[in-house]
Structure 1
């Protein structure tokens, strides 16, 4: 069913990052948890666009940071994809579920490590109790993703250092029994391999 006009105005304002438009739509009675055709909430649309001020208004209005769309994305989960520390800090007071899983069975930490979002990973590990050894449906931890899907460069080296410093198990293997160190060696990532050897 299509959103009502007032709900559509809220969705459009959130997608654009129009903070005043979000406030006006809410004041006019728009539902803070209305959904678009892909089941995305206004807060998810704001998070996808990194519209921090609009998201803050929505959070203050009681928006759910865990509301998932048809792809199992949520406002909280997509911060791991965008790497937005500012959005992370807007959503944290709303009490997001740190165990919420995306369509790959991963938590917010895993895509952030895959992409080498160093400052986001630093903030997430320092400011939450997220599970650093969570295993997704592929059998991969955040550490494995940083090695397997990263480029072996500085950002992924810093990401690996942060994970290890926060208690990531250095030799936790993938579903085939291959460790992060073995993956790093196979890919010729000498810096990552040295970090993993030192942590073993």
Structure 2
């Protein structure tokens, strides 16, 4: 009986130190948080956090709840997590972060939801690019317009040797969205003569790809 009392007392102290939760219980709460965030369930995320889930818990791919919310464009969930102190710079196994994901999705609403968390605008993805670059590649005009207001480096060069301007020309189709992105980048101070590793400039690529409208915009900006 005395031994049982000692064990019971020790367990009580351990539970008290853990806030009344077992380690298994905390794991379940963290999993619940991640699932709810991925589904866009803001109420479920609030409940999981209130019950003691770790706001920086990660899944097997090292994704946090905030990254899952950003990937799914679940803005309300992201707002809940940012208020709870979630890190917008937490990188997963592919080097994605909640902030970097916004450049891929092109979500202006998510961009604005994450800004209060003061994301690091210099964090690089697995290609060495900042969030502006995939947005230029994918033709996310509204996102490019908004992210340029943050002071992000418009001339950042990724591991391929490309800037946002080069990506817009090389990987774009020269259509109206890409023409507008070129205008926005030029207005933000993009170096129109900054060439790739082979020495080919944005204008050179535009001409080679038959993007007459883009080439005209670059020439008007003084490109050679």
User: Would you call these one fold, judging by a TM-score over 0.5?
Assistant: yes
Q: Distance in 2 between matches of 1:88 and 1:48?
A: 12
Equivalence for 1:103:
126
- Unpaired stretches in structure 1, ≥5 consecutive residues: none
Cα RMSD, aligned residues only: 1.0
**Residues 75-97 of structure 1, C-alpha deviations (whole Å, 9 max, x = no match):** 00000000000000010110000
Q: Distance in 2 between matches of 1:93 and 1:9?
A: 25
Equivalence for 1:159:
181
CA drift at 1:141: 0.2
Spell out the pairing of 1:26-65 with structure 2 (5 A cutoff).
26-65=49-88
Equivalence for 2:103:
80
Equivalence for 1:13:
36
Rg comparison, structure with higher value: 2
Task: Calculate the TM-score normalised by the size of structure 1.
Answer: 0.98
Spell out the pairing of 1:115-126 with structure 2 (5 A cutoff).
115-126=138-149
- Unpaired stretches in structure 2, ≥5 consecutive residues: 1-23
Describe the SS at the equivalent of 1:65: coil
Q: Distance in 2 between matches of 1:176 and 1:64?
A: 38
Q: Distance in 2 between matches of 1:98 and 1:105?
A: 12
Q: Which stretches of structure 1, 4 residues or more, deviate above 4 A after TM superposition?
A: none
**Count of aligned pairs between the two proteins:** 198
Q: Residue 130 of structure 1 is aligned with which of 152, 155, 158? A: 152
Structure ranking higher on relative contact order (CA contacts 8 Å, 6+ apart)? 1
**Residues 128-183 of structure 1, C-alpha deviations (whole Å, 9 max, x = no match):** 01000000000000000000001110000000000000000001000111000000
Q: Residue 171 of structure 2 is aligned with which of 137, 149, 155? A: 149
Q: Residue 116 of structure 2 is aligned with which of 81, 93, 105? A: 93
Task: Calculate the TM-score normalised by the size of structure 2.
Answer: 0.87
Equivalence for 1:70:
93
